[in-house]
């Protein structure tokens, strides 16, 4: 048993895997693919929520911490992606260095990253979509636009909001009795389910069509984000940045907010916003020259996105007090705060948010089936997951299954639970990848590496440390969900995966 679970797969994976997927992506496609995944929920949804709940204006520091962790992890990913240019991302890297059990753990963990991320972003997409519909006079009943079982209250001049401890405190400060406001219990989030359905269908049709759609969405959202930053600087009120690090408080449930721990916790939550760069590596088998182009795609998209995040966080918390940003559409709230003279910018921002979030959903829903594809090729999952469509050359069964599950999750779960699950799953994957570089340098020092992570072992150790610190700062219930998820995964591995693995046949 021990020999089986720690057995590694040959690093010459690109020589023994089939080439059923089309190699059509160049470095520009890969950079825009990464930006397409990174720039989305982090800017348009989670920046406001993490600032409101955890860090205040110091959310900027949280982005810098997460950006550093991603830079270190990104350098490790770039070496692996150039060395092992096949589908599967961190799953394949772990298989080549740490053994089959570690590969299974990270493959199962990546489901939290990609599948749950698609659902999380779909919830944010729903918030902006509903906002646009309301602007043009189309109103969907609120119980069909939020997570199942969520209690919503209609706040004067604000609209429908989920009941949170922070909202309760704001109402008390305003002298408004919570029980006097209209309440409704949400049934399901239909818009979130709709967008997952549409994008899953697009992904079945082909990778080239999907990346063309993504490129258009990236151009739109980056252009509008820069427009918001430039205009927004003229509306910044420096008083909103004071105090830059709010004093730590503990709510009635014992949860800590603000202070140093709040900055770290916010870094852990918004780490979700950076997951796109490793999604680039899932498309390695569809890149024309993966050894050279994958590092460019990973590091280029990460650098551009980090700069945009810092700028947007500064402007957002400068225009609106962080206490008012715990909403599904914080950028829209900031534009509204600019006044009636800027009313022309509102629909542009909201459309850019929809474009941005659509591209994130696309990249996440593209990445997950390709991880299933790699795991199925290795025998750890049933053969259906590695079936490629005879005409479109896409892993269509995995795409349909992923999309169907993501639709259900997006329809019923709230964004805060989803976001924290995605963050802890991503951070764990990055820790394993960083340690994998150290292991591979020691066990196979003479391999030809088109791209080398600098300053090994220090860069991988810093990457692992930064990621683990952010994991440690996440709430205990998030850790419990991760542990339960991993137990389910281990049960599947020891009852199916290990007996069907092609490595042991």
Q: Looking at the domain assignment, is residue 158 inside a domain? A: no
Q: Is 149 left (phi over 0), alpha (psi -120 to 50) or beta?
A: left
Q: Looking at the domain assignment, is residue 142 inside a domain? A: no
The pLDDT of residue 404 is: 94
Q: Looking at the domain assignment, is residue 182 inside a domain? A: no
Name the pTM for this structure. 0.77
The pLDDT of residue 423 is: 79
Both structure tokens of 311? 């700028």
Both structure tokens of 113? 């990253």
Q: Could you check whether the bond before residue 457 is cis, i.e. omega within 30 degrees of 0? A: yes
The pLDDT of residue 13 is: 44
| DSSP designation for 145 | B
Asked if 82 contacts 281 with a C-beta cutoff of 8 angstroms, the reply is no
The pLDDT of residue 53 is: 83
Q: Looking at the domain assignment, is residue 412 inside a domain? A: yes
* Number of domains into which the chain is organized: 1
| Alpha-carbon dihedral sign for residues 256, 51, 420, 189 | positive
**Residue reference for tokens 């050894």:** 291
Where does the pLDDT of residue 490 fall: very low under 50, low under 70, confident under 90, or very high at 90 and above?
very high
The pLDDT of residue 74 is: 83
Q: In DSSP terms, which residues pair with 214 in a beta bridge?
A: none
Q: Which of 153-167, 209-223, 380-394 has the highest mean pLDDT?
A: 380-394
Q: How far apart (Å, rounded) are the C-alpha atoms in residues 209 and 406? A: 21
pLDDT tens digits for range 443-465 = 888 877 777 888 999 999 999 99
> Average pLDDT, whole number, for the chain?
81
Which residues, in sequence order, are CB contacts of 480 under 8 Å at separation 6+?
Answer: none
Domain assignment of residue 423, given as a range? 2-120+190-205+232-325+369-504
Q: Is 185 left (phi over 0), alpha (psi -120 to 50) or beta?
A: beta
Average pLDDT (242-270) is: 80
The pLDDT of residue 438 is: 92
Q: Looking at the domain assignment, is residue 355 inside a domain? A: no
Q: Looking at the domain assignment, is residue 176 inside a domain? A: no
Pairing of strands 256-257, 249-250: antiparallel
CATH at residue 470: 1.20.1740.10
Q: Looking at the domain assignment, is residue 178 inside a domain? A: no
DSSP secondary structure string for all residues of 399-432: HHHHHHHHHHHHHHS-HHHHHHHHHHHHHHHHHH
Q: Looking at the domain assignment, is residue 253 inside a domain? A: yes
Q: Is the pLDDT of residue 115 over 90?
A: no
Q: How far apart (Å, rounded) are the C-alpha atoms in residues 34 and 36? A: 5
pLDDT tens digits for range 52-86 = 888 889 999 998 888 888 888 888 887 887 777 65
**Residue reference for tokens 């740490």:** 98
The pLDDT of residue 284 is: 63
**Percent of the chain at pLDDT above 70?**
87
**Residue reference for tokens 């409704």:** 184
Q: Could you check whether the bond before residue 454 is cis, i.e. omega within 30 degrees of 0? A: no
The pLDDT of residue 339 is: 82
Which residues, in sequence order, are CB contacts of 116 under 8 Å at separation 6+?
Answer: 406, 409, 418, 421, 422, 425
The pLDDT of residue 67 is: 83
Q: Is the pLDDT of residue 14 over 50?
A: no
pLDDT tens digits for range 404-446 = 999 999 999 887 777 778 878 888 888 988 998 998 889 888 8
């Amino acid at each position: 048993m021990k020999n089986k679970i720690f057995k590694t797969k040959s690093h010459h994976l690109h020589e023994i895997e089939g080439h059923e997927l089309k190699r059509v992506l160049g470095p520009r496609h890969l950079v825009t693919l990464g930006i397409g995944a990174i720039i989305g929920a982090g800017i348009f949804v989670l920046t406001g929520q993490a600032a409101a709940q955890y860090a205040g204006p110091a959310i900027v520091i949280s982005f810098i911490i997460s950006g550093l962790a991603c830079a270190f992890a990104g350098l490790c990913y770039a070496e692996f992606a150039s060395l092992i240019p096949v589908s599967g991302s961190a799953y394949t890297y772990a298989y080549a260095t740490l053994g089959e059990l570690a590969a299974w753990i990270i493959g199962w963990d990546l489901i939290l990253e990609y599948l749950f991320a698609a659902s999380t972003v779909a919830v944010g997409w729903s918030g902006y979509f509903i906002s646009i519909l309301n602007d043009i006079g189309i109103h969907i009943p609120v119980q069909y636009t939020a997570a199942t079982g969520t209690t919503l209250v209609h706040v004067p001049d604000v609209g429908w909001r989920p009941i949170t401890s922070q909202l309760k405190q704001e109402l008390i400060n305003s002298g408004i009795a919570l029980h006097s406001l209209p309440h409704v219990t949400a049934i399901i989030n239909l818009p979130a389910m709709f967008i997952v359905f549409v994008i899953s269908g697009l992904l079945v049709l082909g990778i080239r069509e999907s990346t063309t759609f993504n490129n258009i969405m990236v151009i739109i959202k980056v252009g509008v984000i820069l427009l918001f930053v430039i205009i927004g600087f003229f509306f910044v009120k420096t008083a909103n940045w004071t105090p830059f690090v709010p004093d730590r408080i503990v709510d009635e449930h014992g949860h800590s907010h603000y202070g140093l721990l709040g900055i770290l916790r916010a870094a852990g939550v918004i780490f979700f916003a950076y997951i796109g760069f490793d999604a680039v590596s899932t498309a390695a088998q569809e890149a024309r020259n993966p050894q050279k182009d994958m590092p460019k795609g990973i590091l280029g998209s990460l650098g551009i996105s980090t700069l945009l995040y810092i700028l947007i966080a500064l402007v957002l918390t400068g225009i609106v007090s962080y206490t008012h940003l715990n909403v599904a559409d914080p950028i829209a709230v900031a534009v509204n705060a600019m006044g009636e003279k800027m009313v022309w910018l509102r629909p542009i921002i909201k459309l850019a948010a929809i474009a941005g979030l659509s591209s994130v959903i696309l990249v996440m829903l593209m990445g997950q089936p390709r991880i299933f594809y790699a795991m199925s090729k290795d025998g750890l999952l049933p053969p259906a997951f590695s079936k490629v469509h005879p005409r479109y050359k896409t892993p269509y069964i995995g795409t349909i299954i992923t999309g169907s599950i993501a639709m259900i999750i997006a329809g019923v779960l709230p964004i805060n639970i989803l976001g924290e699950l995605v963050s802890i799953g991503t951070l764990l994957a990055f820790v394993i990848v960083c340690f994998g570089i150290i292991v591979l340098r020691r066990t196979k020092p003479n391999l030809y590496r088109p791209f080398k992570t600098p300053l090994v072992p220090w860069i991988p150790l810093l990457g692992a440390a930064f990621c683990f610190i952010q994991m440690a700062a996440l709430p205990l219930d998030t850790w419990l969900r991760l542990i339960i998820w991993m137990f389910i995964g281990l049960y599947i591995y020891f009852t199916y995966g290990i007996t069907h693995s092609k490595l042991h046949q």
